[in-house]
Amino acid sequence: MKQAVKYLIRGLKPLSVVIDVIFVPLTILAAAWFRVAKYLELKKLPLTKNILLKLGVFPIVDHYYEPQFDFRNVEVSGIRPLLSLDMNIDEQLKFIDGLHYQQELKNLPLKEQKPNSYYFHNTSFQSGDAELYYAVIRKIQPKKIVEIGSGYSTLLSIEALKRNDTKCELICIEPYEMPWLEQLNVTLIRKKVEEVELHVFEQLQEGDILFIDSSHVVRPKGDVLYEIFSILPVLKKGVLIHFHDIFTPYEYPKEWLVDEFRLWNEQYILEAFLSYNKEFKIVAALNFLKQNYFPTLSKYFPVIAQEPDRVPGSIWLEKL
């Protein structure tokens, strides 16, 4: 039933403005009932509960015991005072200073030119984030990359690996998306990352890369907890780790919170993990560098230099 609902919703997208107006009375009625149902406790309303579970929908109400979804009156701009976290600013700047691949980055296309090839103006992995990933691959010449969550980042890494002198195995852990991954020269694991044995990650050596771009949501038995509390501790010294959509030391972008209602929380548990943690260090917090050292960043990353409004969100760590 969930799949059928998904296809129905996709078909209605072009009519979203009209549907929004037509369904206002139903929205008010449904919202009122959901609020009452939560107050009455859904476990005591088995029919309603089972219908919601079948449809893959569940109500959240504005209450301090519930996940927060209304950030209209919350100030989310500015640096947060993360006193327990070493931002390692001098080493971040030194790390960026060693990445001299400007001409290669300029040669990558902005718009799609052929199927299954990278271009910057895609929907998920754009300038800044992509430029840094490309340059890191070129600089450290990894022999193995494990990607948790694949897509445009995979296409970009393939472009970088073509220019490297060393042979590299690219392992993609992607349970849901991107059927075209089957056509690429990668080792594809169609499992949830929490179902993947730890030995896959224990094989990473100094100078290899673990690239993480998964659900961004902390949930019991979920991917984020497995990545941070099971995978990161078994990594060997010198492995570089990337997390996507991390904006430390800032909050998530305001439009994500206010307009898009993204209930993501991976960033906060990663910050807690890194606090007072001497086993890992930050080598590049890209959003921080973009907001505070943009002229320096622009010297090495020519595409984002021309796109100053871009909001990158990659953080790179090194296992010590």
3-state secondary structure 41-90: CHHHCHHHHHHHHHHCCCCCCCCCCCCCCCCCCCCCCCCCCCCCCCCCHH
Q: Please state which CATH class domain 89-319 belongs to.
A: alpha beta
Peptide bond into 249 cis (omega under 30): yes
Q: For residue 178, how far is the Cα from the chain centroid? A: 16
Instruction: Check residue 12 and give its pLDDT.
Output: 79
**In this structure, which amino acid lies at residue 193?**
V
Convert the pLDDT of each residue in 79-127 to its tens digit.
999 999 999 999 999 999 999 999 999 999 999 999 999 999 999 999 9
Residue 11's pLDDT band, with cuts at 50, 70 and 90, is confident
Q: What is the C-alpha R_g of the chain?
A: 22
Under DSSP, is residue 40 helix (H, G, I), strand (E, B) or coil?
helix
Of the chain, the percentage scoring pLDDT greater than 90 comes to: 92
Instruction: Tell me: pLDDT of 2 over 70.
Output: no
pLDDT for 77 equals: 87
Could you report the per-residue pLDDT of 239-250, keeping only the tens digit for each?
Answer: 999 999 999 999
The answer on pLDDT for 173 being more than 80 is: yes
Q: What is the mean pLDDT of residues 34-48?
A: 96
Global confidence as pTM? 0.93
Specify the domain boundaries for CATH 3.40.50.150 within the chain: 89-319
Arithmetic mean of pLDDT, 295-302: 97
pLDDT beyond 70 at 153: yes
